[in-house]
Chain A
């Protein structure tokens, strides 16, 4: 199980931003976009073979040219005299066919990411994911946060369009679980003495099961990242993909029967505490092609 660093950048207490795929790809789009916007440079990786089965083989004219594994890469950049460190994992290590990270492998992966962060003196880590909520898709998604300390809880208040999990209707006590590595990493970071915060973009509950990206929520998270890093970001690059997804979501919405639409539209004016029957009904309108399918495997020469 190895970390491979191609070079050792000179970093001073960098802030670590970490992203893995998850619901609506909200977190990974946000972290990856921030990494691209600041033009962070790749400098290392965690070797994949201990965590993942290869996803692609290339065989040409009888010769095995190579295997392709999901990547786990580190990047760095200095912005406004602040050092930033990024980790982007293309897949979450999971056991027993689960989608989200689980088991010993996930714990090992989280520790390896933090090993690199700590090596460069990192003191704070940000992860990002989805907050599945009874919200309306036409509303601007807010960013829900969970932090590792009281100090960070008060810091959240400084950022616009954010709220603490305890302020979300059904989670008045702020209890819950952040599934997968975007959550686990925060826990492991806390164990190892790092501060941490998870920024979760809101996604309407009925869309959380569809395997479509939800870039509107990634935009909201990115806006908060901008405040954290202290930079103005041009997020126009998200317009096109947002438009495409909105078109799809609107097409589902248009098919809702009038009484269902009326009930759902209540979400625009009255904050909902719980999903309710509308969530299940709305999910029916999601085309099957957006549901997650199984994976095939193995060569099939013919």
Chain B
């Protein structure tokens, strides 16, 4: 019994050689990390859209989603950055046929070029303060790659439980002998909804170093500064929030109710007042 080939549309064939593939899932987008990283890379490096995996068979079509008042269909697109030898795949996470989808993803990437390494970008909310450095946790599918990345400041992740799609992709990559790493950026939980420019900056720094992208330093400085100033003002005006943030800065946790209060106050300051 054969599996139908996924519908793929290729617009153009890029000139890539031994490139790296960066996969960005945009469903949950904790701290708006993947969408911001994709936007910055496209803006600064000028990539071009080269192909897509059509949504049919991978998504439910029970209606249509919308974001910022605009309807949007699930999208799964490849972007090529020829000068930097980088291929980016930005997609919604499929709802069905995950194995088929992930295989198609890697097969299409290989059709464009012999992929050297696979990277996936993810974020997770954490009980940390925005004033602390962002940790980048990592999962590798080959020990060789783990050793090669030893000096990149990544922290090895240990986990046993339900897998994220990125881990599933790493496993498919492992079977196809594509070395890969999943990056998990730590986002202060109260910035999960509003966006975390510092995490975007940390990611860009890592990618810049890894892929020699030639990005300007401090791309996100203005946004980071603005966010820090707004939260500093909140701390001055609201001593309870200042106490919560101090606890997080000293590595202590917060009660659930305190977390909710802090998340709401920060959201009000960053989103509503803006």
Q: Which residues of A are at the interface with B, using a C-beta cutoff of 8 A?
A: 1, 49-50, 53-64, 66-67, 95-96, 108, 111-112, 295-302
Q: How far, in Å, is A51 (CB) from chain B's closest CB?
A: 9
- Not counting A62-B138, A64-B174, A67-B163, a sample of 4 additional A-B residue pairs whose C-beta atoms are within 8 angstroms of each other reads A54-B171, A55-B162, A301-B137, A301-B184
Q: How far, in Å, is B269 (CB) from chain A's closest CB?
A: 25
Tell whether B260 is near chain A: CB-to-CB under 8 Å.
Answer: no
Tell whether B60 is near chain A: CB-to-CB under 8 Å.
Answer: yes
Q: How far, in Å, is B101 (CB) from chain A's closest CB?
A: 11
- Interface hit among B64-72, B152-160, B212-220, B237-245: B152-160
Whether A64 lies near B171 (C-beta < 8 A) is yes
Interface residues of B in 112-146 (CB under 8 A from A): 124, 126-127, 137-141, 143, 146
Quick one: which of A63, A96, A296 contacts B162, CB cutoff 8 A? A296
B-side contacts of A57, CB under 8 Å: 159-164, 167-168, 171
Tell whether B211 is near chain A: CB-to-CB under 8 Å.
Answer: no
In the complex the two chains form, what is the Cα distance from A64 to B252 in whole Å?
30
Tell whether B98 is near chain A: CB-to-CB under 8 Å.
Answer: yes
Q: Please, which residue of chain A has its CB at the minimum distance from the CB of B168?
A: A54
Q: Please, which residue of chain B has its CB at the minimum distance from the CB of A295?
A: B162
In the complex the two chains form, what is the Cα distance from A66 to B99 in whole Å?
15
Interface residues of B in 154-197 (CB under 8 A from A): 154-165, 167-168, 170-171, 174, 184
Whether B161 lies near A301 (C-beta < 8 A) is no
Name which of A58, A63, A300 has the most chain B CB atoms within 10 A of its CB: A63
A-side contacts of B171, CB under 8 Å: 54, 57, 64, 66-67
**A63 and B124 in contact, given A54-B168, A57-B163, A58-B160 (Cβ under 8 angstroms):** no
Whether B140 lies near A64 (C-beta < 8 A) is yes
In the complex the two chains form, what is the Cα distance from A63 to B170 in whole Å?
10
Whether B163 lies near A49 (C-beta < 8 A) is no
Whether A1 lies near B1 (C-beta < 8 A) is yes
In the complex the two chains form, what is the Cα distance from A12 to B272 in whole Å?
74
Q: Would you list 18 pairs from A and B whose C-beta atoms are within 8 A, ordered by A residue?
A: A50-B3, A50-B100, A57-B168, A59-B160, A62-B138, A62-B140, A62-B158, A63-B143, A64-B140, A64-B170, A64-B171, A67-B167, A67-B171, A95-B96, A297-B162, A298-B162, A298-B163, A301-B159
Whether A299 lies near B98 (C-beta < 8 A) is no
Q: State the main secondary structure of chain B at its contact with A.
A: mixed
B-side contacts of A59, CB under 8 Å: 139, 157-160, 167
Q: For the complex, count residues of B whose C-beta is within 8 A of A.
A: 36
Q: Please, which residue of chain A has its CB at the minimum distance from the CB of B126?
A: A302
Quick one: which of B60, B99, B126, B168 contacts A50, CB cutoff 8 A? B99
Interface residues of B in 193-229 (CB under 8 A from A): none
B-side contacts of A49, CB under 8 Å: 99
Whether B163 lies near A56 (C-beta < 8 A) is yes
Q: How far, in Å, is B217 (CB) from chain A's closest CB?
A: 28
**A54 and B163 in contact, given A63-B146, A64-B171 (Cβ under 8 angstroms):** yes
In the complex the two chains form, what is the Cα distance from A95 to B162 in whole Å?
19
Q: How far, in Å, is B3 (CB) from chain A's closest CB?
A: 6
Q: Please, which residue of chain B has its CB at the minimum distance from the CB of A55?
A: B162
B-side contacts of A66, CB under 8 Å: 171
Whether A112 lies near B1 (C-beta < 8 A) is yes
B-side contacts of A296, CB under 8 Å: 162
A-side contacts of B98, CB under 8 Å: 53
A-side contacts of B139, CB under 8 Å: 59, 62-64
Q: Please, which residue of chain A has its CB at the minimum distance from the CB of B173?
A: A64
Q: How far, in Å, is A127 (CB) from chain B's closest CB?
A: 21
Whether B146 lies near A56 (C-beta < 8 A) is no
Q: How far, in Å, is B88 (CB) from chain A's closest CB?
A: 22
Q: How far, in Å, is B106 (CB) from chain A's closest CB?
A: 14
Whether A299 lies near B156 (C-beta < 8 A) is no
In the complex the two chains form, what is the Cα distance from A62 to B154 in whole Å?
9
Q: How far, in Å, is B84 (CB) from chain A's closest CB?
A: 26
B-side contacts of A297, CB under 8 Å: 162-164
Q: How far, in Å, is B166 (CB) from chain A's closest CB?
A: 8
